[in-house]
Structure 1
């Protein structure tokens, strides 16, 4: 059997590698893997950890053409890109382009799946191709709670990244740090929030460390570390994705908690045994739905209108739930593996013989 995997993401984001790599590992078990990587950088591709047996395509046309051969189509599984889909003109056009291929595969006994996806934005016109594409999929599984409500189709799931780690969850001994990273496209943390974060670290005898998981956040993280007068784990231009991921995971394994509004900084933290604390500087429509889907509830909130005392109480409250959250993180890993089982159900009939 051949699996055609649409695998493109934000090139400066470690989180986009982690979730797609985990999905690739699952798809590879089904047969030959044909991966569309688009214009991804060599460092991004190296971070994906592709196997030598995988076939990579930088041309979408060549990748799509492979599925149009009848003898290939009847034993083909098309796996759509996981992660986040921004509803708009670009996503509508790319979905329209692939709709005829979906129809072709169904006609010849092939299958299509969309597993581990969340959507952002709303536009009734641009949603039409996506709704048609969902209708042609044999399995649709969402990674957050809000997307399933919006599209009214598919099954609940969670982010693939919840099942990648290098440290045993629940290992708390030897953790001496409190790690922090924030989005660069949001307002800066208030002075009250910074004082609260510093106080949490002081009370617990922890060293504060600001880190970059997304390269475009570098300048904001550098400024944040200066404001807090604390250590910085930067993402140097000479450092590749795999090396930076290893550094971030090492930091998480040494940290009691990860404070962030980046979902994959929090997920990576959770998988490495740190307590995820979502401090959000906008309406909490992304962090909360993703962690709710994984069973990790009440770990994030919008802190824009909170003063020093409220921020301090919130952070301490989440950290105090460490054992409970660690158990939920272990359960989330098992939920990812259950989600992977939906691939077997969606296999082409010809591939089951």
Structure 2
């Protein structure tokens, strides 16, 4: 019996990072000759750019439409393969029934000798997230049922206790040699932060000026744009106002990354995109959350996150300057991550092809 792949590519509409990893996840199933894709409310341009084919069956809508789409996997004439969303999973109380329904569907798929694939993901650990134990238990049960369950950082794997550690699926994207001579420092910060301190601004400026780099500030998502413009003004730097949360602008963002010696951000996939082009990824912010450093630690890039709160401009500049020569080690770590993900993709393709 041939398989039918049911794959979810939901995510924030105006977030390039969400688009980036969902395109990669969809790419893992491109060998399937029969796919049903749940695309939430994404428009045709987003869906096409993500790699959805003309012969794919696309379902759009909200929570009820997603439930109906999941149910259709159970009654599919072909043996179903369910591929969940990559990225963060929220194990909060309000999502208990969503996780319960998904677990029941997964159990029915397993009974039909189908497969469950959970691409690289992580438990949401932002300060606003929290974890409700019953919801956690449901996700642990789903992970136990899965043929492939991948965690993109170690703490989530330890919390659930089922599955395997892997790099973030963004690193399955093709590696880029980038420019031999790098002249840029890219800066992109979350829009819910305050404007960085004077010490931060002076320290960053001093480090990159000493290295002979020009600063370009941009926003990965639309809600980051106001802060990005303010940071650029404070640094007297270039503000690239391109809509980088739009997949049509990806070539422009990659061109910037190819010219960057360093990327400074608290956005995981801004840093991942830069690292794919050989730029050194650094997080330099006040009170950084564990997310970024945990994900880069999983691929062997350590000591790349710095808490700038209360630090002098000299301390900030010294910390940044001491890490600008890491290009070779970053390229090696990213290449290893890419190879590891290629092996996991091969396993998924074999499951689909059975």
Say whether the fold is shared (TM-score over 0.5).
Answer: yes
Q: Distance in 2 between matches of 1:130 and 1:70?
A: 24
Structure 1: distance between partners of 2:203 and 2:86: 36
Q: Which residue of 1 aligns with 2:240?
A: 233
| Whole-angstrom distance in 1 between the partners of 2:330 and 2:245 | 31
- Aligned pair partner of 2:207 in 184, 200, 209: 200
1:175 and 1:143 mapped to 2: Cα distance? 29
- Displacement of 1:70 after TM fit? 5.9
Structure-1 residue corresponding to 2:25: 23
CA distance in 2 between partners of 1:231 and 1:264 (Å): 21
Residues in 2 aligned to 1:304 and 1:122: alpha-carbon distance in whole angstroms: 27
| Equivalences for residues 90-169 of structure 1 within 5 A | 90-120=94-124, 121-165=130-174, 167-168=176-177
**How many Å separate the matches in 1 of 2:241 and 2:175?**
21
- Structure 1 runs (4+) greater than 4 angstroms displaced: none
Match of 1:63 in 2: 69
Name the Cα RMSD after superposition. Answer: 2.0
Look up the match of 1:81.
Answer: 85
1:80-122 deviation digits (Å, cap 9, x = unpaired)? 1111112213432221122221121111111112120111232
Q: Report the counterpart of residue 290 of structure 1 in structure 2.
A: 295
Question: What is the TM-score of this pair, normalised by structure 1?
Answer: 0.91
Q: How many residues matched?
A: 343
Is contact 1:165-1:268 (8 Å) kept? no
Q: Which moved more, 1:225-234 or 1:82-91?
A: 82-91
Q: Is the 8 A contact 2:87 2:120 kept in 1?
A: yes
Aligned-partner Cα distance in 2 for 1:269–1:211 = 13
Between 129-138 and 108-117, the greater mean CA deviation after superposition: 129-138
Q: How does 1:147-296 map to 2 (within 5 A)?
A: 147-165=156-174, 167-168=176-177, 171-236=178-243, 241-296=246-301
Q: What residue number does 2:319 align with? A: 314
Structure 2 unaligned regions, length at least 5:
125-129
Q: 1:221 to 1:62 in 2, by over 3 A?
A: same
> Structure 1: any 5+ residue segments left out of the alignment?
none
| Distance in structure 2 (CA, Å) of the matches to 1:148 and 1:240 | 29
Change (3 A) 1:70 1:181: closer
Mapped contact 1:141–1:157 kept (Cα < 8 A): yes
Q: 2 CA distance for matches of 1:284 and 1:240?
A: 22
Q: Distance in 1 between matches of 2:110 and 2:15?
A: 34
1:222, distance to aligned residue in structure 2 (A) = 0.9
Q: Give how far 1:283 is off.
A: 4.0
1:182-234: CA deviation from partner (whole Å, max 9, x where unpaired): 01123332111111111122112211110111111011111111111110111
Q: Which residue of 1 aligns with 2:127?
A: none
Quote how far apart the aligned CAs of 1:274 are: 1.2
How far is 1:315 from its partner? Answer: 1.1
Contact 1:183 1:217 in 2 (8 A): yes
Distance in 2 between the 1:117 and 1:101 partners?
Answer: 20
